[in-house]
Amino acid sequence: MAQTRPRPSLWPSLPFVGAVVALTLSAVSGCRADPDYPKQPPFDFDSMATPVPADFSSEGELAARYLADILPLYEMGEAGAFPGVEGVSIAYRAFRVPQERGAVVLLPGRAEAMLKYAEIIADIVDEGYSVFAMSHRGQGESGRMTEDPQLGYVEYFQDYVDDLDHFVNAVVRRSEHPRLFLLAHSMGGAVALLYLDEHPEVWSAVALSAPMLELDTGAFPEAAALSIASGVCSRGSGKSFAAGQTGFNANLAFDDADNTVTHSRARFDLKMATLREHPELALGGVSYRWLCEALQATSLVQTLGKYSNVPTLLFQAGSDKLVRPGGQNRYCNEAARCQKVVYGDSYHEVLMERDAIRNDALTKAIKFYRAWGG
């Protein structure tokens, strides 16, 4: 006679019960009211009635103009600094234009100094906009947080955003402006979009050059990079160069394979000459901590598009080797008023590229600002 063995029925279903619980909990966590902004049609740049003078700076005359016009104008800017989060000194320069069309807040990318943007600043000021440039903590003209001044480090990515908030409130809005606009590059774009998510009312329009919304982790799959970096960060402060990262290479030449940022020899050479002359502005590779924070921050920023209704112009570099387009595409597809312009031949630094790319992007940015009241 066969023996009947009682078998509990609950245990085999445990994983599935767990999965259902997980699904439910994950659906509940992180829920945020969806503003449901309808997607707006793109702005037609060719229909812009207001002409933009095509007299932006050019590569051919850059060397001569830089010393004669651009650098003197930059040095006339009001230089200042304020204590950012944890007291780190944040440097800025303000270029105030009488009868301004509006004010443009300029946020450089990672490792960049404000001085690198002197040419851009001159062009924007010529268009009748005041410019307020800020150097992110730990780079450029701002204070460092590590013993090695060339280590790209930040304790919390949110510190960049909080510094920007202080800059906007304590410096930019100290005087009245008809409109506020943003121009941000790469990491500055991620900082800008995080700030825009917190304070969308501040900005009339935003232009982003190759915003860092998804890092290119190179040979490392992103999951491996995140796991390794997070492991290092969980063990300590992460204040060491990440694998494959080194200090600033002052001998990098335009034709080197490591130049993956611009096709413009004139602008590349000017940047390197400036950094050789001002080595204190140079910054090397990234630390593990910066990598941990940047991977988390970019994974957050790319999901924020659906909450944005701020007019946003996004320049995507088709030959970018530093950031991947996926995050930009996701943000811009979901943002109601985001418009993407792709420069297929552009390396990462769209605003430091050859004239054909750089000046087209700048023209579009100015037109975009004007379309939104600037």
Nearest-angstrom CA–CA distance, 94 and 97: 10
State in angstroms the smallest separation of the CB of 297 from another protein: 9
- Single-letter code of the amino acid located at 81: A
Nearest-angstrom CA–CA distance, 74 and 118: 6
Does 234 participate in binding another protein (rule CB under 8 A)?
yes
Does 35 participate in binding another protein (rule CB under 8 A)?
yes
Contact 51, 367 (CB under 8 A): no
State in angstroms the smallest separation of the CB of 258 from another protein: 26
* Residue (68 or 224) nearer to another protein, CB: 224
State in angstroms the smallest separation of the CB of 88 from another protein: 13
Going by the DSSP 8-state scheme, the letter that residue 210 receives in this structure is S
Site string for another protein, 239-278 (x = CB under 8 A): ----------------------------------------
Contact 205, 313 (CB under 8 A): yes
| Greatest CA separation for the chain | 105
- Interacting span for another protein (CB under 8 A) from 65-73, 126-134, 137-145, 288-296: 288-296
Strands 129-134 and 180-185: unpaired
Does 165 participate in binding another protein (rule CB under 8 A)?
no
Burial 212-242 (b: 16+ CB within 10 A, else e): bbbbebeebeeeebbebbbebbeeeebbbbb
Q: Which of 5, 147, 201, 257 binds another protein (CB under 8 A)?
A: 5
Does 218 participate in binding another protein (rule CB under 8 A)?
no
- Interacting span for another protein (CB under 8 A) from 3-11, 62-70, 119-127, 355-363: 3-11
Does 84 participate in binding another protein (rule CB under 8 A)?
no
Going by the DSSP 8-state scheme, the letter that residue 287 receives in this structure is B
Does 46 participate in binding another protein (rule CB under 8 A)?
no
Burial 137-175 (b: 16+ CB within 10 A, else e): bbbbbbbbbeeebbbbbbbebbbbbbbbbbbbeebbeee
Give residues 316-335 in contact with another protein (rule: CB under 8 A).
Answer: 327, 330
Nearest-angstrom CA–CA distance, 359 and 263: 14
Nearest-angstrom CA–CA distance, 253 and 102: 38
Q: Which of 40, 169, 175, 227 binds another protein (CB under 8 A)?
A: 227
Does 40 participate in binding another protein (rule CB under 8 A)?
no
Burial 194-210 (b: 16+ CB within 10 A, else e): bbbbeeeebbbbbbbbb
Does 131 participate in binding another protein (rule CB under 8 A)?
no
Site string for another protein, 8-27 (x = CB under 8 A): x--x--xxx-xx-xxx-xxx
Angle separating helix axes 187-198 and 288-301, nearest 10 degrees: 50
Does 302 participate in binding another protein (rule CB under 8 A)?
yes
- Which residues of this chain interact with another protein, rule CB under 8 A? 3, 5-8, 11, 14-16, 18-19, 21-23, 25-27, 29-36, 155-156, 158-159, 221-224, 226-228, 230-231, 233-236, 238, 292, 295-296, 299-300, 302-303, 327, 330
